[in-house]
């Protein structure tokens, strides 16, 4: 296996184990059986290494969502399944999920947009489902892309509150998430389809 790949794997392990604060170039290098400076042979700097991790996490999330896709289901059901899969991924891989939102595009030099291409794929996926909902007259949405981003943002908010332990201890996670997903999807539907 290439050292580059080894570095990425080791970084992920350290990230999952000790959290973000514990992730240093020297520790990564040591665990990979190599010197810190060697990392710079494969990554311009720490940010670019993190970006590679982000990239992988995004790809994995994308894969999970695509897997959750069920073309035979109706648009609403598909949105529900996507949302559930999204939340599940986040809960199963908290650190991996977090790094997606940790590094921000604006701080990335040069190639931010291209690398975040996979995210756009997801948006377009959601938008296309909404669009087909429009066509089947199950939904009536002005701008599917805006709605896709809105759903996504809301989901992220809900997940983020849970992951960062900001939920009141008296409120159990699962019911909260179920309630939230319900609200996001159905609120979204009914709003634009006046009863």
Span from 9-17, 45-53, 67-75, 172-180 in contact with DNA (CB under 7 A): 45-53
Q: Which does 26 bind (CB under 5 to 8 A by kind): DNA, a second copy, none?
A: DNA
* Cβ contacts of 160 within 8 Å, gap of 6 or more: 101
Q: Which does 37 bind (CB under 5 to 8 A by kind): a second copy, DNA, none?
A: DNA
Q: Which of 84, 67, 92 is nearest to 180 (CA)?
A: 84
Q: Per CB under 8 A, does 16 bind a second copy?
A: no
Q: C-beta of 44: minimal distance to a second copy in Å?
A: 17
Residue 47 interacting with DNA (CB under 7 A): yes
Name residues whose C-beta falls within 8 Å of residue 158's C-beta, 6 or more positions apart in sequence: 87, 176, 177, 180, 181, 184
Q: Which is nearer to DNA, 109 or 187 (CB)?
A: 109
Q: Which of 8, 14, 15, 25 binds DNA (CB under 7 A)?
A: 25
Window 123-152: residues binding a second copy (CB under 8 A): 123, 143, 145-147, 149-150, 152
How many degrees, rounded to 5, is the angle at CA 156 between CA 152 and CA 157? 120
Query: In this structure, are residues 164 and 97 in contact, taking their beta carbons and an 8 Å threshold?
Result: no
DSSP 8-state secondary structure symbol assigned to residue 107? G
Q: How far is CA 32 from CA 12, 28, 70, 145, in A?
A: 12, 6, 40, 42
Nearer to DNA, 44 or 186 (CB): 44
Q: Does 23 bind DNA (CB under 7 A)?
A: yes
Long-range contacts of 30-35 (CB under 8 A, 24+ apart): 32/3, 32/6, 32/7, 34/3
47 interface partner picked from DNA, a second copy, none, CB below 5 to 8 A per type = DNA
Tell me the CB-side half-sphere exposure of residue 141, using CA atoms within 13 A: 29
Residues in contact with a second copy by CB under 8 A are 101, 104-106, 119-120, 123, 143, 145-147, 149-150, 152-158, 160-162, 164-168, 170-171, 175-176, 179-180, 182-184, 186-188, 190-191, 195
Residues in contact with DNA by CB under 7 A are 3, 23-27, 29, 34-38, 40-41, 45-47
């Amino acid at each position: 296996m290439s050292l580059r790949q080894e570095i990425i794997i080791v970084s992920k392990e350290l990230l999952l184990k000790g959290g973000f604060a514990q992730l240093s170039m020297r520790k990564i290098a040591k665990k990979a059986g190599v010197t810190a400076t060697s990392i710079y042979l494969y990554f311009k700097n720490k940010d670019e290494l993190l970006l590679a991790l982000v990239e992988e996490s995004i790809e994995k999330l994308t894969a999970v969502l695509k897997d959750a896709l069920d073309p035979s289901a109706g648009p609403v059901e598909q949105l529900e399944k996507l949302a559930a899969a999204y939340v599940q991924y986040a809960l199963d891989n908290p650190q991996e999920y977090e790094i997606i939102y940790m590094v921000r595009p604006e701080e990335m030099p040069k190639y931010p947009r291209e690398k975040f291409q996979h995210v756009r794929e997801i948006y377009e996926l959601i938008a296309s489902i909404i669009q087909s909902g429009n066509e089947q007259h199950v939904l009536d949405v002005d701008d599917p892309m805006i709605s896709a981003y809105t759903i996504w943002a809301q989901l992220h908010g809900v997940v983020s509150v849970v992951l960062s332990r900001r939920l009141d201890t008296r409120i159990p996670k699962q019911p909260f998430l179920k309630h939230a997903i319900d609200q996001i999807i159905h609120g979204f539907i009914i709003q634009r389809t006046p009863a």
